[in-house]
Amino acid sequence: DVMHGVNLDQLGRRDPEVYGTFTLPELEVRIKGYAAELGFDVTFWQTNHEGEFCEELHRARDRADGLVLNPGAWTHYSYAIRDALEVCGLPAVEVHISEVDSRDDWRRLSVIRDICVGRVQGKGADGYRDALEILRRELGE
């Protein structure tokens, strides 16, 4: 599964210098292409509600082999999502479109970082390809 969190549905309207001009549906088309190249059958999910994101993590366990996650701002403070990801137990790669480490100080902290198998930031849409490659390696060819 590729899971997008809060405000990622607003891509295309957010600062293009930071996030590019692509919309979430456009991003998903690109990710679908990357996934096909790597032999992944991919499912997308986006919500602006933290509890729903947690519930999707609970469900993903029975359905997916691995996760690519961009939880948006929740990354920086949601222990609920961290706990749900831990319960889920699937290998997960954290992705950020922007370079979170060189923006605001509060964006440097990720509460999920140490329970993810990889992390990609600042590569725009291409970062999702890197994330899928990390997941591919993690799951074996």
Q: Which of 46, 72, 78, 112: binder of ligand DQA (CB under 6 A)?
A: 72
3-state secondary structure of 56: helix
| 110: contact with ligand DQA by CB under 6 A | no
Catalytic choice (19, 49, 76, 79):
19
Residue with tokens 């948006």: 72
Taking CB positions, which residue lies at the least distance from ligand DQA?
72
Q: Which of 32, 107, 123, 136: binder of ligand DQA (CB under 6 A)?
A: 107
Q: CA 19, CA 96: separation in Å to the nearest integer? A: 9
Question: Hey, which residues between 2 and 61 contact ligand DQA (CB under 6 A)?
Answer: 7
| 98: contact with ligand DQA by CB under 6 A | yes
44-46, strands of its sheet edge to edge? 44-46, 2-4, 67-70, 92-96, 118-121
